[in-house]
Chain A
Amino acid sequence: MNASTTAVETTPSVVRELVLKDLRIMKIPSICYWLAGIGSIVLALLWGDAAGTIAFILFISAIFGAGVHAAMQTITEERREQNLPFIMSLPITIADYTRAKMLANLLLVGGIWLTLSAASYVIFIGDVMPSGTIPLMTIILVAVLLAYVIILATTMVFQGIAPAITAIVAANLGNQAFIWWIASFHAVRSTVNGTEAVWNATYLTVLGAQIGAIVVLVGLVFYAQSRKTEFL
């Protein structure tokens, strides 16, 4: 038997099972967060402006909560509860573990983020919000995703509770500062109440920077994990 060939052939199946395990563990909380997000959209559709702020906060909190819960449950708790020796005794490397965790988290939270984000656009069809808000709304949604990736990267690389909490607080505050900061741009203020979505250079630049930051952060996680010589 060629051992190295076996390893190469069979590792993806173990990674797949690790991903499925995390998805099973996070199934019920994820459904709850998703339903809360859908509920916030329904709230906005039914009561319009009157419930707008509450619906917006609930919506962002549902996505953010799903992200925090997933990262804490599948990464930090796994270490704190001493499940890691069990997982790392399986035929995987640190790189496989990293791949499995990143895939599980991004699938789970990315799925919630994507479906809720897509669903949130019905408020523009229902004329609850002017279509000029679509670019700003998109940037805010991507900012939430970026904040989650910051939390995920921190929990993944540092594994401890303290760094995770620091990342959660920083990402949350940073997100609010970002919304305030982006709303102050003339290019945003001048288009946000329009009847049509205008994707000007400001929106596209910010969006590009956000997506770039997400890609760099994910890459940094894999780099940092590959440098580790000790994993328990």
Chain B
Amino acid sequence: MATTVQSRPRSGGGRDRLAGPFGMAVLYAVLAGGALLTAFPFYYMLVTSTHRTSEILRIPPPMWFGAALQQNYLELLDALPFWASFWNSVAIAAVHTVLVLLFCSLGGYGFAKFRFPGRDALFAFLLATLMVPGFLGLIPVFIVFRQLGWIDTWLPLIIPGIANAFGIFWMRQYIESSVPAELMDAARIDGAHEVRIYWNVIVPVIVPALAALAILTFIGKWNDFLLPLLILKEEEKYTLPVALSTLRSLRGSEIGVQILGATGAIMPILVVFISASRQFISGITAGAVKGV
């Protein structure tokens, strides 16, 4: 560690200096240009949702906020049950996330801290399921849902993924590296029940991992489109993406209204992401890098 810190200024190349001062300026320009291109559609979204179609279809297009936000908002509420869909999405994602945290932390704990016959084979199987593409069972799983009487309910969106391979893998990695065995042994000697050990010893230690998994799961479920599109029939049960997907097909609808609807789906998640981007990104990368 110390050698690394010392040698950086001396070698002048650090670990991989890419270019001289002029080259560095070019690299920064590339990075900043890319970031601008990435951010521009968000800016366009916010600006456009405050304009009427007649203003949006002007040359040049509006680049600053307009005055039609309220009118667009009222028309959005007319076009679709926006808030009902919004709260449906919140409820589905929240319940699903809580169940994922419970079942995946239990599964991860089971794999990380117990040595039982068949453990390695069971874990290898779990990892292998990550490679099976989701559409393969899409049609028959729809029939399973129909047999269960789950069509047009939220159960297919909430239940099947609550103990999922990624979540269990992610919790196992964390528990294995951060929960000392002595902690559990001490509790066992005190005669604590296994469920008690999970709740009182394990859970308090793994809060950061739970937070990352919660954000990942919530965002994934919030944006989920294909399954709710298949399952939900009545408009009052729609999630936000399903409700929004009907907007494009409404002929002659106001562009600003459509974009405002998109803003309603994107902004809450973006706020959550920006306030917790560190945990989120660490959650995403854990599976990819530690997994290989």
Answer yes or no: do A and B interact: no
Q: Chain A residues in contact with chain B, CB under 8 A?
A: none
